[in-house]
Amino acid sequence: MKILYSWIKDYVALDVPADRLGRDLTDVGFPLERLEPLDGGDALLEIDVTSNRGDCLCHLGLAREAAAIYGQPLQLPDCGRLQADPAEIDWKIRIQAPDLCRRYCALILTGVTVAPSPEWLQERLKALGQRPINNIVDITNYVLLELGHPLHAFDLDRLHGKRIIVRRARPGETVTTLDQGLRQLNESMLVIADERRAVALAGVMGGEESEISPGTTRVLLESAHFHPGSIRRTAKSLGMSTEASYRFERTADIENAALALGRCARMILDLAGGKAASRWMDAYPGKKPALRIPLDPAHVRTLAGAPIPDEFISRRLEALHFGVSMRRKSRWQVTVPSHRNDVTREADLVEEAARHYNYSRIPATLGSWNQIGHMPSWKRSEKSLRELLRGMGFSEVINTNFANGAELAQFPGYEGTPLALENPLSEEDSHLRWNILPLVLRNCRTNFNQGQKDLRLFELAKTFYRSEGLEPWERKRLAILATGLADSFWWAEKSKLVGFHHFKGWVQSLLRAQRWSQVQPVSGEAPCYLDPVDFLALSCQGRTVGWVGKLSKALEESYKFKQPVFVADLDLESLYAIPVPVTRYQPLPRFPAVVHDLSMVFDPLVRYNEILQAIRDLAVADLQRVEVFDRYVPQNDPGGRISITLRLWYQNETRTLTLEEVGEHEARIIDRLQEKLGGERRK
């Protein structure tokens, strides 16, 4: 917002230079961006005004702030109402869209003379980047910059009928605006119309057919209040941005409509001659009472963290035109002025007091807090997952939530259906991602193309889907990918490539570290994008919560991968719901463990998890740990069976176990494996 120092001085008696005014405005929330000295001791100040302070997009608004800062009275311009008595011309206003136009004021002036504006007015407009046109138009622009309220002047003789109608545009209706652009309108747009056609785009720009010309002698002045959302949509839809739309979009002051009309009419009569020829027209349906907010001055000091005196609070609020009624010392009633639509609650009043007290005077202290912070269990799990995966050498990738529809089709098996975007940024990313793997595989392909073949990646993100008859859903998932060397290259030892068992071990270590012991790898039917052999489903209480496997040959060829790629896809929502056992500590064992190796021969279709579960079902009290020590395929076994050597750790907390006791435990285990899985002890 550009303002003239001399113009501000018209309303406030300032005895400070322009640069000091800029610094003081900065301290109360209006940063000075640029200061340009002008001839005659004047200066141009460029002030940054936030979007919620539409009342300060004018000289009077910033003068009000300056008056409060320096404790000076604010000198208001003459904005009194004018009207002909009796009225020579009878016009009416009809608001057909009261939801989009809350107030419409108008006045007719006759006998005006259109001519160039006085030099002082032209110089002020030029200094602020405005092009002088003629005295009538220049005065409406001047009042806009002065009071912040847009106005428009119509040539009355170019209007049809005796009514101004504020309505929505009709289907297929057009209007040629003052910039000579033909605008195609739709029913969401608000227009100002006479009895035949639209003559202006409400709150944006006037129409060419009713503009002020050198021969104009009768003028209809309008000053209105329009819904900010409607003006914003219209301006954006038509690709227009004007001084008027900029202010209406930020919610103009509804009470300022009449003041701006009075100010503009008086200036026209002073500078262009003529007289008021109609009554004062003011259509104001649904006027609302002023907002009143209770305020506790002690609460101001608590929230602001500064010893702001009661007198300072009341004095500054009144200087900013708030009404302060002190019913009790500890409870005030503050009436909000109409131009401060950003103030709706007590906290906003605290901000007003604090910013004028000056934020730099508020000491930097740690505020009091009487609550204990709490991190949800899922948040702790998420943090732990990231730390564990980084500790295993995996790098986190972060992708957008958009995915390719063709890629999503390669990854079926999820619940619901993908969500297509109505206005995608590109054809390639036409959907919200339904599966987390496609974008991680894109990351893998990008790395391969750059010559990086050894990868460990993970991404923790949301997926989106729609179930039939229900609203769209979000679900968090974790994707893990590994390919290339399993460990760092070392000249003294040949490095191994990542295999299925490497990858499965990493995923199991992750689940074990999170204490999700109920999740077990089980065999099952692999999704079409995973290899049917190198695959395991992750199951919890009979429900699949993820998959671990090698990418299928077809998908490797589709992505042009030249080496095996292993992926895991985990449903975090289901994992977060698993109750985590309470951590229990016990003393270190005082007695030694007895370690035995047990070799059993099994059918090749028997899985290790089945062996482990069969042993767990026995609930051997002294059995602490079971691990696979060796896997051997005998050459002379007619059934093609496989020998598995298990290493068993036995330990008792109160005494040393005897070999006889261990032998009894082992006999039970052998019998169980024979009975349940058809295993035989290897001879």
Q: What is the DSSP letter of 366?
A: P
Least Cα distance to 225 among 173, 156, 287 occurs for 287
Backbone angles phi, psi at 314, to 5 degrees: -65, -40
Q: What burial letters (b/e) apply to 443-471, b meaning 16+ CB within 10 Å?
A: bbeebbeeeeebbbbbbbbebbbbeeeee
Token pair recorded at residue 42: 């004047």
User: For a pLDDT cut of 70, what percent of the chain falls above it?
Assistant: 98
- Under the banding of pLDDT at 50, 70 and 90, the label for residue 406 is confident
Query: How does pLDDT run across 9-44, given as a tens digit for each residue?
Result: 999 999 999 999 999 999 999 999 999 999 888 999
What is the total residue count of the chain? 683
Angle between helices 346-357 and 310-319 (to 10 degrees): 100
- Looking at residue 215, its amino acid is G
Name the strand (E) or helix (H) holding 650: strand 642-650
Report the chain's mean pLDDT, rounded to a whole number. Answer: 91
Query: How does pLDDT run across 75-98, given as a tens digit for each residue?
Result: 999 999 998 888 899 999 999 999
Query: How does pLDDT run across 580-609, given as a tens digit for each residue?
Result: 888 888 888 889 999 999 998 898 888 888
Cα(122)–Cα(116) distance, integer angstroms: 9
| 8 A C-beta contact, residue 140 and residue 152 | yes
Residue 367 has pLDDT above 70, yes or no: no
- Under the banding of pLDDT at 50, 70 and 90, the label for residue 491 is low
Cα(394)–Cα(498) distance, integer angstroms: 13
Backbone angles phi, psi at 11, to 5 degrees: -110, -20
Residue 260 has pLDDT above 90, yes or no: yes
Query: How does pLDDT run across 150-162, given as a tens digit for each residue?
Result: 999 999 999 999 9
| 8 A C-beta contact, residue 534 and residue 503 | no
Cα(540)–Cα(517) distance, integer angstroms: 9
Q: Could you report how far apart the first and last alpha carbons of the chain are, in Å?
A: 93
pTM: 0.63
- Looking at residue 58, its amino acid is C
Biggest alpha carbon distance in the chain?
Answer: 124
Asked if residue 228 has a cis previous peptide bond (ω within 30° of 0), the answer is no
Model pLDDT, residue 581: 81
- 466, β-bridge pairs: 417, 472
Cα(80)–Cα(649) distance, integer angstroms: 98
Write the CB contacts of 112 (distance below 8 Å, at least 6 apart in sequence): 136, 216, 217, 218, 219, 268, 272, 273, 274
Instruction: Dihedral sign for Cα 478, 482, 486, 490, please.
Output: negative
Protein fold of 594-681: Alpha-Beta Plaits (3.30.70)
Residue 384 has pLDDT above 80, yes or no: yes
| 8 A C-beta contact, residue 478 and residue 458 | yes
User: Exposed, middle or buried, 89 (CB in 10 Å: 0-12/13-18/19+)?
Assistant: middle
Query: How does pLDDT run across 625-659, given as a tens digit for each residue?
Result: 898 888 888 777 777 788 889 999 999 988 999 98
Cα(388)–Cα(394) distance, integer angstroms: 9
Query: How does pLDDT run across 506-553, given as a tens digit for each residue?
Result: 999 999 999 888 888 888 888 888 998 899 999 888 888 999 999 999
| 8 A C-beta contact, residue 295 and residue 346 | yes
Residue 177 DSSP SS3: strand
Question: Which of the two residues, 428 and 219, has the higher pLDDT score?
Answer: 219
Query: How does pLDDT run across 140-151, given as a tens digit for each residue?
Result: 999 999 999 999
Alpha carbon 297 to its chain centroid, in Å, reads 34
Model pLDDT, residue 418: 82
Give me the residue label for tokens 């730099």.
Answer: 360
Least Cα distance to 29 among 6, 10, 55, 7 occurs for 55
Domain ranges of the chain: 2-70, 92-283, 292-360, 377-576, 594-681
| 8 A C-beta contact, residue 295 and residue 349 | yes
Angle between helices 377-391 and 500-513 (to 10 degrees): 140
Q: Give the CA count within 13 Å in the CB-facing half-sphere of 387.
A: 8
Cα(430)–Cα(422) distance, integer angstroms: 8
Question: Which of the two residues, 191 and 612, has the higher pLDDT score?
Answer: 191
Least Cα distance to 82 among 114, 118, 110, 121 occurs for 110
Instruction: Dihedral sign for Cα 394, 396, 399, 401, please.
Output: positive
Least Cα distance to 596 among 667, 655, 505 occurs for 667
Residue 276 DSSP SS3: strand
Weakest-pLDDT range from 368-377, 470-479, 652-661: 368-377
Alpha carbon 237 to its chain centroid, in Å, reads 23
Question: Which of the two residues, 638 and 389, has the higher pLDDT score?
Answer: 389
Model pLDDT, residue 435: 87
Q: What is the DSSP string of 199-242?
A: EEETTTEEBGGG---TT--EEEEEEEEE-HHHHHHHHHHHT---
User: For a pLDDT cut of 90, what percent of the chain falls above it?
Assistant: 66
Model pLDDT, residue 326: 83
Weakest-pLDDT range from 70-74, 163-167, 327-331: 327-331
Q: What CATH number is given for 2-70 in this structure?
A: 3.30.56.10
Work out the average pLDDT over 332-337: 94
Query: How does pLDDT run across 341-364, given as a tens digit for each residue?
Result: 999 999 999 999 999 999 888 888
Cα(619)–Cα(192) distance, integer angstroms: 85
Structural domain 377-576, CATH architecture: 2-Layer Sandwich (3.30)
Q: Residue 15 CB: number of other CB atoms within 10 A?
A: 8
Work out the average pLDDT over 490-514: 85
Token pair recorded at residue 377: 């269990």
Give me the residue label for tokens 């401060």.
Answer: 340
Model pLDDT, residue 541: 83
Cα(615)–Cα(622) distance, integer angstroms: 12
Alpha helices by DSSP H, listed for 305-391, are: 310-319, 346-357, 377-391
How far are the Cα atoms of 49, 230, 280, 428, 479 from residue 226, in angstroms, in the given order? Answer: 21, 8, 19, 41, 51
Q: What CATH number is given for 292-360 in this structure?
A: 3.30.56.10
Residue 569 has pLDDT above 90, yes or no: yes
Q: Residue 388 CB: number of other CB atoms within 10 A?
A: 17
Residue 209 has pLDDT above 90, yes or no: yes
Give me the residue label for tokens 């339904």.
Answer: 434
- CATH 1.10.10.10 assigned to domain 92-283? The reply is no
Same fold across 2-70 and 92-283: no
Query: How does pLDDT run across 60-80, given as a tens digit for each residue?
Result: 999 999 999 999 999 999 999
Model pLDDT, residue 153: 97
Alpha helices by DSSP H, listed for 392-431, are: 405-409
Cα(543)–Cα(187) distance, integer angstroms: 53
Cα(313)–Cα(352) distance, integer angstroms: 9
